[in-house]
């Protein structure tokens, strides 16, 4: 077994700021947010950042000026500024895969070169962007059409993980901007139900399949892609040549794309320095460009670029992703809060929590640091959530009154999208926003025993009735949250929002000294599935696994051909 070499320089939890934060955490455990607000009218002034269309209010967190200053020291101690610069300048910070990490180059509208191994990657990025633009324009003008000349009506993106969640989330978020009469579908699961239910609704003459896979070897994607190809060929009764009219590939793997039967002219390339969960800005975003038009896709990229400039240049105390990350570290490592909820008050952002789940959990769900040492502190939190107000009627009970502490981000938009002239929808929007404002206030303030008693007394309840119910109605409050209030939901602001979260994850990875850009933890299950698949197809009973797995597999094999 390889020796684990200790590199104390990098062990962040042995630093002075870490020790100081541990001390501050003892006091913070008894901090009352309600009291902090009542005693300091300038709390909001101290703890918010305005950036373009964004108001980031972090005042409803269990922090004070000492804590936040110490968190900045922790970031400095970790060499954050230099390490951010390393990412932007193409240093191979993905150390386990010896790769640069350059999703920021994909949305770089500056003029400076970005070098990987002394090679400027910007011309290639611009070439592919131009190819996406031309393809998108020709697709919309029907210059690119199906094998018998019919205009495309449906796009099916076949991909999984980062090759699915990003484009799916963005297309849902920006569907107000969609090209009329165009539908986009996302097929990811290897469960045949996913592709079969999608194919049922499609016309083979007017459907474009986008096979999105960085590696072009992912089992789920290649299985679904083959099924789509067989479906198209069997329905259209055409030749292999017509496949190129209905199938395009987004990948880094030219050989596999060709072997699948897709003409390289129909391949939109990207590069190994684009991580899967950071890839929606690359060719993986083709479905976005087709669905909302190239100009809107470019706006999305420009919004991310705005965030990149902010992140790269702004001081820590005005830097939204840095502050988001440090508050997350504070909860994870010092206040023992293991989960983080994302609650967008926007139905359009309903897929954002799932996207952020992969972004954050696949990046920082690590127990070995960059020096191959076991980490001695908590790393990535559990990320979860769903859109408000729906979530108020499902899991909010637990956030408000359970024994757990949960930190959360609340996200909302000032303007109602596209329905400005119809007053009914303005009423909807103000009801939505009143809940957005109310929930963070309620989580922070809570409701005390004396407030409940007075309220019940006002309602004419007797002392006995009050005593019977009052403890069930107490809200402890003190539940922390960030509020991100954005003027409009448009491509640019969405790009900024997503990039803020990407950078938050990077900052946390830097402080925890883990590599956020690999994902070895997904390998074992894949390997075992590779062993089990032939066992499912054979006639023999299985006995090579543990007794649980053997019996589960054998139950399947015994029953697979009977249905009684
Ligand atoms: O789940 C592992 C993973 O590698 C993700 O990181 C990635 O987004 C996904 O699989 C899909 O990979 P690919 O784009 O190569 O098909």
pLDDT tens for 95-131 read 999 999 999 999 999 999 999 999 999 999 999 999 9
Indicate the SS3 state at residue 183: strand
d(CA 55, CA 321): 13
Atom of ligand 1 nearest to the CA of 279: 8
* 552 and 512 in a common domain: no
Flag whether 100 is in a domain. no
Q: How confident is the model at residue 344 (pLDDT cuts 50, 70, 90)?
A: very high
Q: What is the CATH number of the domain that holds 532?
A: 1.10.1390.10
Q: Which helix (H) or strand (E) holds 207?
A: strand 207-212
Average pLDDT, stretch 195-223?
97
* 437 and 332 in a common domain: yes
Work out the number of other CB atoms within 10 angstroms of the CB of residue 543. Answer: 10
Task: Give the pLDDT confidence of 461-504 residue by residue, as tens digits.
Answer: 999 999 999 999 999 999 999 999 999 999 999 999 999 999 99
E-strand spans in 420-480?
A: none
* 334 and 243 in a common domain: no
Q: How confident is the model at residue 252 (pLDDT cuts 50, 70, 90)?
A: very high
Q: How confident is the model at residue 418 (pLDDT cuts 50, 70, 90)?
A: low
DSSP 523-562: HHHHHHHHHHHHHHHSSSPP-SS-HHHHHHHHHHHHHTT-
Polymer length in residues for the chain: 564
Locus of tokens 């990077």: 506
Q: Are 131 and 268 in contact (CB under 8 A)?
A: yes
* 481 and 422 in a common domain: yes
Atom of ligand 1 nearest to the CA of 215: 15
Domains contained in the chain, number: 3
Distance, CA 275 to ligand 1 centroid (Å)? Answer: 9
Q: How many CA atoms lie within 13 A of 138 on its CB side?
A: 12
Indicate the SS3 state at residue 341: strand
Flag whether 103 is in a domain. no
Least confidently predicted of 1-15, 222-236, 422-436, 534-548: 1-15
Percentage above 90 pLDDT, the chain: 93
The whole-number pLDDT of residue 12 equals 85
Atom of ligand 1 nearest to the CA of 277: 8
Q: How many CA atoms lie within 13 A of 303 on its CB side?
A: 24
Distance, CA 163 to ligand 1 centroid (Å)? Answer: 7
102, 168, 320, 476, 494 from 499: Cα distances, Å: 13, 16, 11, 34, 9
pLDDT exceeds cutoff 90 at 162: yes
| CB-based burial label for 481 (10 Å; 0-12, 13-18, 19+) | buried
* 425 and 370 in a common domain: yes
* 134 and 237 in a common domain: yes
Q: How confident is the model at residue 14 (pLDDT cuts 50, 70, 90)?
A: confident
Q: How confident is the model at residue 237 (pLDDT cuts 50, 70, 90)?
A: confident
The whole-number pLDDT of residue 563 equals 75
Q: How confident is the model at residue 3 (pLDDT cuts 50, 70, 90)?
A: very low
pLDDT exceeds cutoff 70 at 224: yes
| CB-based burial label for 92 (10 Å; 0-12, 13-18, 19+) | middle
Identify the domain boundary among 298, 323, 357: 298
Q: Are 514 and 368 in contact (CB under 8 A)?
A: yes
Flag whether 39 is in a domain. yes
The whole-number pLDDT of residue 7 equals 52
* 541 and 509 in a common domain: no
Interior/surface letters 240-258, b for 16+ CB within 10 angstroms, e for the rest: eebbebbbbbbbbbeebbe
pLDDT exceeds cutoff 80 at 423: no
| CB-based burial label for 82 (10 Å; 0-12, 13-18, 19+) | exposed
* 487 and 346 in a common domain: yes
Q: Ligand 1, atom 10: nearest CA belongs to which residue?
A: 161
φ, ψ at 291 (rounded to 5°): -75, -40
- By most ligand atoms within 8 Å of CB, the mutation choice from 251, 276, 358, 359 for ligand 1 is 276
* Helix extents (H) in 16-79: 16-28, 33-39, 43-46, 65-77
Q: Ligand 1, atom 16: nearest CA belongs to which residue?
A: 213
Least confidently predicted of 136-140, 310-314, 432-436, 526-530: 526-530
pLDDT exceeds cutoff 50 at 401: yes
Atom of ligand 1 nearest to the CA of 165: 8
d(CA 232, CA 401): 53
Q: Are 102 and 114 in contact (CB under 8 A)?
A: yes
Average pLDDT, stretch 157-174?
98
Flag whether 552 is in a domain. yes
Flag whether 62 is in a domain. yes
- By most ligand atoms within 8 Å of CB, the mutation choice from 158, 160, 225, 523 for ligand 1 is 160
- By most ligand atoms within 8 Å of CB, the mutation choice from 97, 159, 163 for ligand 1 is 163
Least confidently predicted of 3-7, 175-179, 488-492, 534-538: 3-7
* 448 and 381 in a common domain: yes
Q: Ligand 1, atom 9: nearest CA belongs to which residue?
A: 161
Distance, CA 100 to ligand 1 centroid (Å)? Answer: 17
Average pLDDT, stretch 226-245?
90
Average pLDDT, stretch 334-349?
98
Residues 6+ away with beta carbon under 8 Å from 511: 12, 74, 75, 78, 80, 325, 326, 329
- List, by residue number, the catalytic residues: 362, 393, 526
Flag whether 110 is in a domain. no
The whole-number pLDDT of residue 488 equals 96
Average pLDDT, stretch 262-291?
97
Interior/surface letters 433-443, b for 16+ CB within 10 angstroms, e for the rest: bebbeebbebb
pLDDT exceeds cutoff 90 at 140: yes
The whole-number pLDDT of residue 421 equals 63
Atom of ligand 1 nearest to the CA of 218: 16
Which residues constitute the domain of residue 529?
A: 522-559
* 504 and 531 in a common domain: no
* 544 and 430 in a common domain: no
The whole-number pLDDT of residue 419 equals 60
Flag whether 279 is in a domain. yes
Distance, CA 484 to ligand 1 centroid (Å)? Answer: 29
Distance, CA 450 to ligand 1 centroid (Å)? Answer: 54
Q: What is the CATH number of the domain that holds 130?
A: 3.40.50.10490
The whole-number pLDDT of residue 13 equals 84
Percentage above 70 pLDDT, the chain: 97
pLDDT exceeds cutoff 90 at 377: yes
Q: Quick one: DSSP state of residue 99?
A: B
Distance, CA 252 to ligand 1 centroid (Å)? Answer: 12
* 323 and 431 in a common domain: yes
Average pLDDT, stretch 210-214?
97
pLDDT exceeds cutoff 80 at 564: no
Q: How confident is the model at residue 238 (pLDDT cuts 50, 70, 90)?
A: confident
Flag whether 112 is in a domain. no
Residues at CB less than 6 angstroms from ligand 1: 160-163, 213-215, 218, 221, 276-277, 362, 519, 522
């Amino acid at each position: 077994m390889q020796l684990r070499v200790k590199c104390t320089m990098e062990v962040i939890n042995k630093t002075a700021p870490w020790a100081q934060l541990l001390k501050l955490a003892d006091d913070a455990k008894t901090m009352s947010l309600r009291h902090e607000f009542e005693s300091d009218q300038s709390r909001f002034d101290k703890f918010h950042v305005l950036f373009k269309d964004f108001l980031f209010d972090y005042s409803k967190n269990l922090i004070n000026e000492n804590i936040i200053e110490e968190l900045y020291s922790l970031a400095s101690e970790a060499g954050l500024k230099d390490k951010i610069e390393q990412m932007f300048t193409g240093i191979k910070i993905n150390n386990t895969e010896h790769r640069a990490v350059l999703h920021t180059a994909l949305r770089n509208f500056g003029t400076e070169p970005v070098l990987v191994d002394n090679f400027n990657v910007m011309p290639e990025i611009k070439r592919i962007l131009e190819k996406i633009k031309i393809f998108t324009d020709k697709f919309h003008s029907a210059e690119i059409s199906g094998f018998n000349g019919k205009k495309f009506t449906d796009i099916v993106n076949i991909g999984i993980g980062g090759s699915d969640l990003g484009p799916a989330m963005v297309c849902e978020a920006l569907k107000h901007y969609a090209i009329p009469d165009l539908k986009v579908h996302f097929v990811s699961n290897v469960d045949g139900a996913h592709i079969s239910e999608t194919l049922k609704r499609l016309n083979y003459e007017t459907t474009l399949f986008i096979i999105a896979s960085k590696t072009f070897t992912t089992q789920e994607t290649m299985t679904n892609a083959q099924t789509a190809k067989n479906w198209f060929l069997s329905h259209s009764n055409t030749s292999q040549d017509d496949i190129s009219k209905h199938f395009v590939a987004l990948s880094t793997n030219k050989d596999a794309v060709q072997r699948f039967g897709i003409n390289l002219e129909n391949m939109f390339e990207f590069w190994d320095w684009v991580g899967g969960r950071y890839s929606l800005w690359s060719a993986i975003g083709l479905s976005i460009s087709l669905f909302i038009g190239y100009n809107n896709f470019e706006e999305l990229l420009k919004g991310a670029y705005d965030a990149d400039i902010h992140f790269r240049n702004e001081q820590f105390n005005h830097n939204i992703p840095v502050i988001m990350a440090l508050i997350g570290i504070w909860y994870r490592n010092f206040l023992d809060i293991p989960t983080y909820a994302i609650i967008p008050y926007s139905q359009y952002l309903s897929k954002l929590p799932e996207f952020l789940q992969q972004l954050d959990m696949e990046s920082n769900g690590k127990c070995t640091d960059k020096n191959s040492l076991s980490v001695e502190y908590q790393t990535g939190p559990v990320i979860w959530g769903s859109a408000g107000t729906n979530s108020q009627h499902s899991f909010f009970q637990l956030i408000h009154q359970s024994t757990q502490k949960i930190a959360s981000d609340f996200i909302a938009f000032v303007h109602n999208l596209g329905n400005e002239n119809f007053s009914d929808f303005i009423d909807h929007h103000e009801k939505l926003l009143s809940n957005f404002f109310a929930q963070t206030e309620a989580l922070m303030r809570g409701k005390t025993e004396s407030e409940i008693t007075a309220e019940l007394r006002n309602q004419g309840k007797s002392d006995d009735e009050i005593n019977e119910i009052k403890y069930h109605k107490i809200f402890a409050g003190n539940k922390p949250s960030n509020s991100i209030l954005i003027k409009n939901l448009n491509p640019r602001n969405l790009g900024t929002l997503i990039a803020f979260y990407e950078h938050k994850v990077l900052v946390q990875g830097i402080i925890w000294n883990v590599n956020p850009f690999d994902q070895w933890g997904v390998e074992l299950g894949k390997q075992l599935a590779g062993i089990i698949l032939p066992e499912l197809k054979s006639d023999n009973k299985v006995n090579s696994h543990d007794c649980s797995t053997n019996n589960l597999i054998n139950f399947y094999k015994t029953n697979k051909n009977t249905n009684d």
